[in-house]
Amino acid sequence: MLARVLAALALLVLAWAVPAQGPARAALWLAPYAVAGWDVLWRAARNIVRGQVFDENFLMAVATVGAFGCGEYPEGAAVMLFYQVGELFQSVAVGRSRRSISRLMDIRPDYAHLLRDGQTVRVDPEEAAVGDVILVRPGEKIPLDGVVLNGAAALDTAALTGESMPWQAGPGDEVLSGCVDLSGVLEIRVTRPYGQSTVARILELVESAAEKKAKAERFITRFARYYTPAVVGAALALFLLPTLLLALLPELPAWLAGTVWSDWLHRGLVFLVVSCPCALVISIPLSFFGGIGGAARQGILVKGGNCLEALARTGVVVFDKTGTLTQGDFQVTRVCPAEGVGEEDLLALAALAERHSGHPIAQSLKQAWKGEGTEVPVTGVEERPGLGVTALVDGRRVAVGGRKLMGSEGVACPPCEEAGTAVHVAADGTYLGFLLLEDAPKPSAAAAVAELKRRGVRTVMLTGDRPAVGEAAARRLGLDEVHAGLLPAGKVDRVEQLLKETPAGRTLAFVGDGVNDAPVLARADVGIAMGAMGSDAAIEAADVVLMDDDPAKVVRAMDLSRRCLRIVRENIVFSLGVKGAVLVLSAAGVTGMWAAVFADVGVMVLAILNAGRMLRK
């Protein structure tokens, strides 16, 4: 395209420089026109045959061929050349947007080194199974999610999270596929098959993002469908009606006096050039595409332009507590057994019942207990979201969870007003005591809440914890309100109520990470999931995924979406404003083809350059 534009420009300068008349002059100007616009003419003809008449190719073909027919060779050739210059700018802008997203494609692993009988075997990542051990050397990408067994290394997580600082990983740490090993050899036990790994989920999210169009994009598509035939009809009327009046009226009105039919043909052609909707049809989707690509570079995966648009209008942000605003890294601070029960026995029963759970509280209980006696049989494990866990431990029915679980098991549970999360334990219908756990807020949580409030956003926290625990966390973080003691169904009901209270024209965003958050994420106007360690169900239900679980990214995502919508509005107002003004002036004969070139190509280039701002950090 660049070569064609430069060649057409050289031929255009030559045609201007060489004095010629008649057929020779037409041939001189036809050369740059043909080099610049042969593909536009071909697409216009092909679309007419297929019944797809009214598009920008048709408008440009009719306008420029008409200009040549009227003997206005310089205008016809220049309009086509500048149209292709605009197309060149468009391809450069789209290429930049695609590259910003294609960088994410680089995280796709090409192979995995599988350890078998002390030997390494190079296999496709999809061939590795859960439980296999893989070897990752410095400079290689981690192909699958897993837990480090041996070794230590600095990991580059920039492709996943947008953060430039390496992260140190060692034995026992969970690592994500797509990270790059910078320094050491790691032996990693695979915890997820490739199809469910972080890298596979990211690629699936990014590849499907373009399918979900924003309202502005859908409006522009419909607008162009009706707008193009309307302006073709208007251009024909602008030419035919005055021409008929010139032929039929014996006495001409003032606005027709001194004109001939060719003047009105010229005005009609100028009208066609001006009315070409390229600036809107190209720049609006490009703005959303750039927004999705720019967000992805910062570790924020947006599942479509519609999600970006809804996020920009957020008026209420509702947070889950554990793992979202807090680190989810609970520590057992007190063991409070009932009379006649030993502290170690209470902790052992709780840890054994939670042995197969991946919940942060379960992990903390297992860490607090040293793991002695793990040969005790544990069967019949039932994890009940928002309540706790029940299991048969050495033949005893053990229930571990909150007060509501104890109530459902028919166990009398004494009140606990101490700060922290109380995990109650019962066996065979007898209350055995409780364990007190505390969860520290994430370092950026308070600042993120403060930034949201500064932007006029109402902040709410929903949690299954006791009111005392939830209120203490809300005070520490500066949230506007908190609702505690909620089960998953209760969270959905509370979000339904908050949706009714949300001002018209504003949206509600819910931020969560757990399995029990999936229904609320799906119900909210915008669901935002923590992607690094969040559950598959939460990520699937969400509209936006934060790859590094940082609450501050909620503010960044909102700012980015608002910037995108602002650029879209600027392009719409600017494009329609300039085109409307030049359309009126061209119909009145005040402006000619060169003003039409600016109103079409110039406006398109400026709108594309404006849309390209979305790619800047």
In tens, the pLDDT along 370-403 reads: 765 567 888 888 888 778 889 998 888 999 988 8
Choice between 230 and 283, residue whose per-residue pLDDT is larger: 230
320 is catalytic: yes
Instruction: Tell me the per-residue pLDDT of 593-604, one tens digit each, with 9 for 90 and over.
Output: 777 777 777 787
> Which of 55, 320, 548, 550 is labelled catalytic?
320
Instruction: Tell me the per-residue pLDDT of 160-203, one tens digit each, with 9 for 90 and over.
Output: 654 556 778 888 888 888 788 888 889 999 998 887 776 666 65
Q: Are residues 527 and 598 in the same domain?
A: no
Residue corresponding to tokens 């050039």: 273
Average pLDDT over residues 203-208: 57
Residue 523's DSSP bridge partners are: none
Residue 150 domain flag: no
Q: Are residues 354 and 427 in the same domain?
A: yes
Q: Residue 335 has what pLDDT? A: 86
Residue 89 domain flag: yes
Instruction: Tell me the per-residue pLDDT of 414-469, one tens digit each, with 9 for 90 and over.
Output: 877 676 778 899 998 899 999 888 777 888 899 999 999 999 999 999 987 778 77
Q: Are residues 90 and 225 in the same domain?
A: yes
Q: How far is Cα of residue 66 from the mean position of the Cα atoms in its chain?
A: 44
Residue 120 domain flag: no
Highest mean pLDDT among 188-197, 526-535, 588-597: 188-197
Task: Check: CB of residue 405 under 8 Å from CB of residue 386.
Answer: no
Task: Check: CB of residue 292 under 8 Å from CB of residue 302.
Answer: yes
Residue 231 domain flag: yes
- What is the layout of strands, in order, in the sheet containing 180-181? 167-169, 153-156, 180-181
C-alpha closest to that of 610 among 292, 280, 214: 280
- Rounded-to-5 percentages of helix, strand, coil across the chain: 55, 20, 30
Residue 371 phi, psi dihedral angles, 5° rounding: 90, 10
Last residue of a domain, one of 411, 438, 465: 438
Q: How many domains does one find in the chain?
A: 3
Which residues are CB-neighbours of 367 under 8 A, at least 6 positions away?
Answer: none
Q: Are residues 499 and 352 in the same domain?
A: no
Query: What share of the chain has pLDDT > 70, as a percent?
Result: 84
Q: Residue 175 has what pLDDT? A: 86
CATH code of the domain in which 459 resides: 3.40.50.1000
Last residue of a domain, one of 393, 410, 438: 438
Say yes or no to pLDDT of 535 above 70.
Answer: no
Q: Are residues 88 and 15 in the same domain?
A: yes
Residue 204 domain flag: no
Q: Residue 77 has what pLDDT? A: 81
Task: State the Cα angle at 586 between 584 and 588, rounded to 5°.
Answer: 70
Give the structural domain span for 310. 305-327+441-542
Q: Are residues 311 and 284 in the same domain?
A: no
Q: Are residues 465 and 510 in the same domain?
A: yes
Instruction: Tell me the per-residue pLDDT of 211-264, one tens digit each, with 9 for 90 and over.
Output: 555 565 566 666 666 777 787 788 888 888 888 888 888 787 877 777 888 888
Instruction: Tell me the per-residue pLDDT of 17-31, one tens digit each, with 9 for 90 and over.
Output: 877 777 788 788 888
Average pLDDT value for the chain: 80
What the block records as the tokens of 464 is 């299954």
Residue 184 domain flag: no
Q: Residue 538 has what pLDDT? A: 64
Residue 146 domain flag: no
Residue 147 domain flag: no
Q: Residue 449 has what pLDDT? A: 94
The beta strands (E) that lie in 117-218 are given as: 119-123, 133-136, 146-150, 153-156, 167-169, 174-175, 180-181, 186-190
Task: Find the range with the poorest average confidence among 280-289, 435-444, 548-557.
Answer: 280-289
